[in-house]
Amino acid sequence: MILITGGAGYIGSHVAKQLLEQDRDIIVIDNLSTGFQRTIDTLQKIKKFDFINLDLNDFEKVVEVFEKYNIETVIHFAAFSQVGESMQNPMKYYMNNTVNTTHLVKCTSVYGVKKFIFSSTAATYGEPTLKGSEQTITEEFDTEPINPYGKSKLMSELVIKDEAKVNKDFKYCIFRYFNVAGADIHYEREELLPRVGEAHDPETHLIPLVVKTALGKRDAISIFGEEYDTPDGTCIRDYIHVDDLADAHIKAIDYLDENESDTFNCGYGYGYSVKEIIDSVKNTMKCDFKVIKGERREGDPSTLVSDNTKIKEKMKWKPKYNDLGLIIKSAYEWEKNLK
Ligand code: UFG
């Protein structure tokens, strides 16, 4: 049995979807604070599973889940993920992200769970300084997070690693995500119709915001800073399709049967600027909309691009949707039908 925490959220729901399509047995825990019941209902149509509406801070109830089910793998997504909010309310992040992860890791040890797959972030690297000819960030870079969100995730990584040092039956796979985007690649009568996708409240991420603007749900998109040290002056990010990212998690389940615990970057290894994303939405969706010049956002590094050599070589991970047009189209089709 595979336990997914945060399975009603953006990335968790894509992993759940892929596992259900492979007819695997899963249980989902989610407190629906940022995830949605409608996402659970959609997933139940692929294959029935037990959904437990539960906050991970309810330690007694979490223990009951481990008592009841024979859990072999935990895939842990449940967390808060807004950098700005974490600066305003750090305790919210340390309690939910670090304390609850620590308790979950303790349960895995007590109940003999063999594999722990953890959703971490490129925010653990902070503002990496690229030296000489370096263009991308490897897993060996120093981890110096600059906000409580990144720190809460890095501390969770350390907890997981320490448990693995003393518990030889416990293996982990930590994924450091770069910029996750797009929605379920699912076709009906040859039309792209995502069943699950991204929905944050408030939305802060670039691609969903640009797509909302293209759909007329917002008046304009604001570019946060045009004087960065990049070719067009706007920030560069490595956008990875959520279904490719989900596939890495599924691969990790079997990978850990044969291999040692490890940490992997998840990205495509090349980046696009904010202006390139905006132009690409205009071109792909054949539309125009208002773009305004905004202030820099505090804590935004100019360039964040992964070196993905390790995950490709060790895990044999092969991206299938590394096509910016498809990322944007799937995000657009999902957003179009989002109430
Ligand atoms: N941006 C704009 N206008 C907007 C929104 C964003 O110009 O309205 C810019 C941002 O300044 C940034 C880029 O678009 O340069 C991407 O911003 P996102 O908010 O989409 O993503 P981030 O790169 O800030 O954050 C992502 C993840 C975080 C993770 C971080 C790692 O969402 O969870 O990468 O640095 F922590």
Alpha-carbon span 81 to 87, nearest angstrom: 11
Ligand 1 centre from 37 Cα, in Å? 26
| Dihedral pair phi/psi, residue 27, rounded to 5° | -125, 145
**The pLDDT value given to residue 127:** 86
Alpha-carbon span 189 to 41, nearest angstrom: 22
**The pLDDT value given to residue 339:** 78
Ligand 1 centre from 235 Cα, in Å? 9
Based on the residue annotation, tell me whether 321 is a catalytic residue of this protein. no
122 within ligand 1 shell (Cβ under 6 A): yes
176 within ligand 1 shell (Cβ under 6 A): no
pLDDT tens digits, the chain, 339 residues: what are they?
999 999 999 999 999 999 999 999 999 999 999 999 999 999 999 999 999 999 999 999 999 999 999 999 999 999 999 988 999 999 999 999 999 999 999 999 999 999 999 999 999 999 888 777 778 999 999 999 999 999 999 999 999 999 999 999 999 999 999 999 999 999 999 999 999 999 998 899 999 999 999 999 999 999 999 999 999 999 999 999 999 999 999 999 999 999 999 999 999 999 999 999 999 999 999 999 999 999 998 878 889 999 999 999 999 999 999 999 999 999 999 999 997
pTM: 0.97
Helix H or strand E encompassing 236: strand 236-237
Alpha-carbon span 123 to 145, nearest angstrom: 6
Ligand 1 centre from 5 Cα, in Å? 24
Three-state DSSP state, 212: helix
Q: Which atom of ligand 1 is nearest to the CA of 181?
A: 20
Which residue minimizes the CA distance to atom 5 of ligand 1? 206
Alpha-carbon span 78 to 26, nearest angstrom: 15
Please list, in sequence order, all residues whose beta carbon lies within 8 angstroms of the beta carbon of residue 128, skipping any fewer than 6 positions away.
Answer: 137, 141, 142, 301, 304
**The pLDDT value given to residue 134:** 76
List helix spans (H) across 55-197. 59-68, 83-88, 90-93, 100-110, 148-166
81 within ligand 1 shell (Cβ under 6 A): yes
**The pLDDT value given to residue 299:** 77
CA 239, 245, 247, 248 torsion-angle sign: positive
**The pLDDT value given to residue 292:** 98
**The pLDDT value given to residue 51:** 98
223 within ligand 1 shell (Cβ under 6 A): yes
> Which position among 10, 149, 228, 321 bears the catalytic label?
149
250 within ligand 1 shell (Cβ under 6 A): no
Q: Which atom of ligand 1 is nearest to the CA of 147?
A: 36
**The pLDDT value given to residue 4:** 98
